[in-house]
Amino acid sequence: MPTLISRKREAAAALGTSPQLRLWSAGCATGEEAYSLAILLRELIPDCAQWRISILATDINADYLAQARQAVYSDWSFREGRAQSYRSRYFTPVNQNGRDGYELHDEVRRMVTFAPH
């Protein structure tokens, strides 16, 4: 990924445009992978706001897509070691319908578009 980012940055500089990166997460289920990709890009690209980044996330399950758009996840979604660090930086604790969870910050959510596949 760092090589791709570097090449995109160089190409944009040569053209005098903003760097662009378009990615697709096929079979995105409830969105964890697509949002993780968005978080990774924010970590790897310090000037992320200057880029045109779009992540298309698709799935055939409409219920999964609805859940993905809400961007609220339980502790189970953060069971990996590095996920704990991301949770504290990119999520806000929430309680929905009596269930505790974590809602993804809007600046990351806006990087991902969900659609039926």
What distances in angstroms separate CA 114 from CA 4, 13, 14, 20, 50, one per listed residue?
A: 23, 30, 32, 19, 22
Domains and CATH numbers, the chain: 2-10+21-116 (3.40.50.150)
**Residues of the chain with confidence (pLDDT) below 50:** none
CB of 83 within 8 A of CB of 32?
A: no
pTM beyond 0.85: the answer is yes
DSSP 105: P
| Beta-sheet strand order (sheet of 72-73) | 72-73, 99-104, 91-96
pLDDT of residue 103: 97
